[in-house]
Structure 1
Amino acid sequence: MSLPIFRPTEDPGPNFLKTLERAGLSPFDSGGIASSLSTSNGQLSVPHGTTIVAFKFSDGVVMAGDRRATEGNFIAHRRIEKVFAADRYSGVAIAGAAGPAIEMVRLFQTQLEHYEKVEGVVLSLEGKANQLGQMIRANLPMAMQGLAVVPLFAGWDQIRGIGRIFAYDITGGRYEEVAFQTTGSGGRDAKGTIKAGLREDVPLSRQGALELAISALTEAAEEDSATGGPDLARKIFPVVATITSAGFEAASDEEIGAIAVEVFGNRRGIGGGQ
């Protein structure tokens, strides 16, 4: 691919997606990809990510996702990552068709980096949320063929000095959440645990936020076969990250593993974990 040359009146500026469009390229190929894939019981045989959660705590926002991807009633992958840093102060968690979702995240990361290099400043959190909504809308033809991508976006708003969470629908509709949001097949069960664990009168510390995230995913795994809970035997643990004024930080496997052992121990103590 040669470097595209634009007239001054056609310069797409810092918008990386517009640059691709002007060069005759499309970031999302909707030309019948889904129709060429094998199907089983009318469903596409592609890996799908399942449960992701995001909620606010005292210092910012925590995002978490289990590691399982499924193809129908089969486990496609046990170690897929569903939580990514979008840039230094924001993150994306993915649910839906894994391939298009990961591609969208990579394009989103490139878009934000491209904007910062061209403009010399970081795009506002509101602008990042809008940009991701446009990318989801561009994926609508593929979503109509069964390759839907439904992410959660969260970050630290440097202007307001607070953490913020945004949810989306498959048309790119953007909705800011007050305290928390979950999505994916196990989202409803995880939401109940988070709702019970969040209290306005008791600020949640970072440690408490990590414990609540692991508990929510563990509860979801108890009720939803497509959600993978902490696997102590294989040492496969959910990806959990915090986004604060210090930036995006993923918790280590050692830290999450220790919390997971404690969560499972507490569940066995009350007759859970069967």
Structure 2
Amino acid sequence: MIPDVPGRLPAAFLAPDTSSFVEFLGRHAPEALRQLAPPPGSVATPPTAHATTIVALACSDGVVMAGDRRATAGNVIASRDIVKVHAADSHSAIGIAGAAGIGLELIRLFQVELEHFEKLEGTTLSLEGKATRLAGMVRGNLGMALQGLAAVPLFAGWDLATGRGRIFSFDATGGRYAESEHHSIGSGSYFARGSLKKRWRPGITTGEAASVAVEALFDAADDDSATGGPDVVRRIWPVVAVVDADGYRELDDTGVEALVEELVASRRAGARSGGAVPEVGGTPL
């Protein structure tokens, strides 16, 4: 075993070890993973901030992921501008629903996990490998999930091996499922999924899918009180991310605002025309 040398990093950081950052912490600083395991004798202590709703769509040229900005604690709005969609790395996105604190910590740990692997191995994990590692991390939170503090992610990215966008969903036990067209998680997911089924089509582009994602969140907010719709007064818009061959990027507020205004105008025109729904984004979706 390499001895510690004063003035240098501890020996544990210099010895050959696992390329998993989570496993490294588990061996040398298990207390840093306490958020992924329930403390002895602990019980759930509501109200806890919960985040919803996330949607993702597979497109001909990548994937689109979008999330609303509301977090609730019981019947109270805990936050109006929480960000639930983040870049996992340069070619993948992750969104979370459920216990907001645990979910955001899971995202940060997953980001470090991918960066740690890349630095040690000199290459990135495959998209399948990333989804598998994320599933293991979700399973590590099972104890808290059984106490009512579940955090479930939605993962999507550009598969460098196959040259296409892919979506992966998870359950609280760490189950991992590939989604071929679109998916939604969170309390508003049932309403968002209905909207996605109507608007998604084979060959849809990321530009068209961004409009569909905003509409799905709009429909979810119309029926689910825990999902926040676009806030025109405070100018708080959904987070819309695109992942394609060029990598991860987010639409700026101006772009999302334009999508919202177009959607609202189309709904108003539909109401004036007696209920007929006009095209959104200039293309029948």
TM-score of the pair, normalised by structure 1: 0.91
What is the aligned partner in structure 2 of residue 41 from structure 1?
Answer: none
Q: Runs of 4 or more off by more than 3 Å in structure 1?
A: 2-8
**Residue 4 of structure 1, CA deviation:** 5.1
Q: 1:27-42 to 2 correspondence within 5 Å?
A: 27=33, 28-31=36-39, 35=43, 37=45
Mapped to 2, the partners of 1:270 and 1:12 lie a distance apart of 61
The RMSD of aligned alpha carbons is: 1.9
What is the aligned partner in structure 2 of residue 270 from structure 1?
Answer: 270
Distance 1:56 1:34, change over 3 A: farther
Identify unmatched segments of 5+ residues in structure 2.
1-7, 276-285
Distance 1:131 1:256, change over 3 A: same
Q: 1:168-207 to 2 correspondence within 5 Å?
A: 168-200=170-202, 203-207=203-207
TM-score of the pair, normalised by structure 2: 0.87
| Equivalent position to 2:24, from 15, 19, 25 | 19
**Residue 36 of structure 1, CA deviation:** 6.6
Distance 1:252 1:32, change over 3 A: farther
| Equivalent position to 1:78, from 69, 77, 80 | 80
1:60-88 deviations in whole A, cap 9, x for unaligned? 10000000000111110000001000000
| Equivalent position to 1:154, from 153, 156, 160 | 156
Mapped to 2, the partners of 1:164 and 1:7 lie a distance apart of 35
Amino acid aligned to 2:224? D
Q: 1:1-274 to 2 correspondence within 5 Å?
A: 5-6=11-12, 11-26=16-31, 27=33, 28-31=36-39, 35=43, 37=45, 44-200=46-202, 203-271=203-271
Mapped to 1, the partners of 2:168 and 2:113 lie a distance apart of 18
SS of corresponding position for 1:220: helix
Of the two, which has the highest radius of gyration?
A: 2
Matched positions, count: 262
Identity %: 48
Mapped to 2, the partners of 1:36 and 1:71 lie a distance apart of 13
What is the aligned partner in structure 1 of residue 4 from structure 2?
Answer: none
1:10-38 deviations in whole A, cap 9, x for unaligned? 9532111111111141422420596273x
SS of corresponding position for 2:173: coil
Identify unmatched segments of 5+ residues in structure 1.
38-43
